[in-house]
Amino acid sequence: MQDFASGLPKTDALKRGLASALQSEDVRGRFLTLLGREPTPYATTFPCEIVTCRIGPGKPRRLFCKYTAGVDYTGHGHRGGVGHEIATYRHILAQSDKFHPKFYGGYADSETGQYWLFLEYLDGGLRVGKLNDPVAMGKTARWIARFHVTSQRLLGNEHVRFLKRYDKEYYLGWVSRTVNFAGPNYRRLSWLRRLHACAEDFLSPLLDSAPTIIHGEYYQHNILYHQGRVCPIDWESAAVGEGLIDLACLTDGWERKIAEVCTTTYVRTRWPEGAPAGFEKVLKAARLYMTVRWLGDDPDFTRSTGARGHWMRLRNLLTELEQK
């Protein structure tokens, strides 16, 4: 885990931020007591901690707190940062009282201009990938399918205009970045040149159907499983795009059995009458996008040995797409 201790707010500033964010909890006129601060058990992009506090004579509550702390990386526009995540919780996720973790609020520090996010801390929650449980994975697929159905109705709402909308230039940009970041050994490969030349055709299915609001990084490590509930976290990449991108993320790296459980559950939930025409074609396009997004994110990673699996997957996807 990275050492983000220097990015955590000082105690007095944290108390001010909490008091401001927790106004809906009737903190006004009652003393907020900070009882403890401890590190989170997982590595994260942004500085995070678990804060225990109490409002007046009430019971202690534990909050998951995330801070911008000067971390400013948007990639090719797919990451929006903590401020973006706060807006996603406030205008989309918190509109349902069934969503967990509970959104307690967000705060913009007037001294630094940094954003702080305050959520319910799900004590005992595990990242769903740790369970290796087809039932739990099926629930995660059902959750995101339902979210895609309900959130599609919000697209006309002015409060969600802050979300990035994926378009042709966005998708093709990731292919170009992948090619540009590739080392000389990859750039001279004929199959990579073919991919670059045909990228628009391969990715166009992502623009053929009506978009919805997507998580954008619906991977197993961004989904907590707590007391039988599916609790997606890390909404920094929430956007408007093809919903099957989230399914591609969810099934990435899983054995065939679990991937099929997720895919079948997703389709039955979102389309009870059956998958739409071209479903497999769109899902392959989504997998292609997610692969070039990994390879087009950071040139150091693209050229590292850790990227070999992604390069192999990209080559295999091209073979499948060329056989259509």
126-322 has which fold? Aminoglycoside 3'-phosphotransferase; Chain: A, domain 2 (3.90.1200)
Burial 200-228 (b: 16+ CB within 10 A, else e): eebbebbeeeebbbbbbbbbbebbbbbee
Is residue 101 a contact partner of residue 95, using CB atoms and an 8 Å limit? no
Return the pLDDT at 30. Answer: 66
Residue 174 vs residue 44, higher pLDDT:
174
The verdict on whether omega for the bond into residue 101 sits within 30 degrees of 0, i.e. cis, is yes
Number of C-beta neighbours around residue 250 at 10 A:
26
Choose among 149, 161, 164: nearest CA to 237.
Answer: 164
Q: How confident is the model at residue 184 (pLDDT cuts 50, 70, 90)?
A: confident
Residue 158 vs residue 26, higher pLDDT:
158
pLDDT over 90 at 44, yes or no: no
The residue whose two tokens read 């590739």 is: 182
Return the pLDDT at 277. Answer: 93
pLDDT over 80 at 71, yes or no: no
Q: How confident is the model at residue 110 (pLDDT cuts 50, 70, 90)?
A: confident
Query: Residue 60 burial (CB < 10 Å; 0-12/13-18/19+)?
Result: exposed
Architecture per CATH, 5-120:
2-Layer Sandwich (3.30)
Over range 27-38, report the average pLDDT: 80
Choose among 81, 94, 104: nearest CA to 238.
Answer: 81
- Percent pLDDT > 90 in the chain is 76
Residue 317 vs residue 22, higher pLDDT:
317
Which residues, 6+ apart, have CB-to-CB distance to 281 below 8 Å? 205, 324
Where do the CATH 3.30.200 domains begin and end in the chain? 5-120
Where do the CATH 3.90.1200.10 domains begin and end in the chain? 126-322
Structure tokens given for 118: 């305050």
Over range 122-148, report the average pLDDT: 95
Return the pLDDT at 1. Answer: 41
Query: 49 in helix, strand or coil?
Result: strand
Distance CA 264, CA 283 (A): 13
Choose among 60, 174, 72: nearest CA to 113.
Answer: 72
Return the pLDDT at 6. Answer: 73
Structure tokens given for 323: 């056989």
Residue 224 vs residue 112, higher pLDDT:
224
Return the pLDDT at 24. Answer: 59
Q: What is the pTM of this model?
A: 0.93
Average pLDDT value for the chain: 92
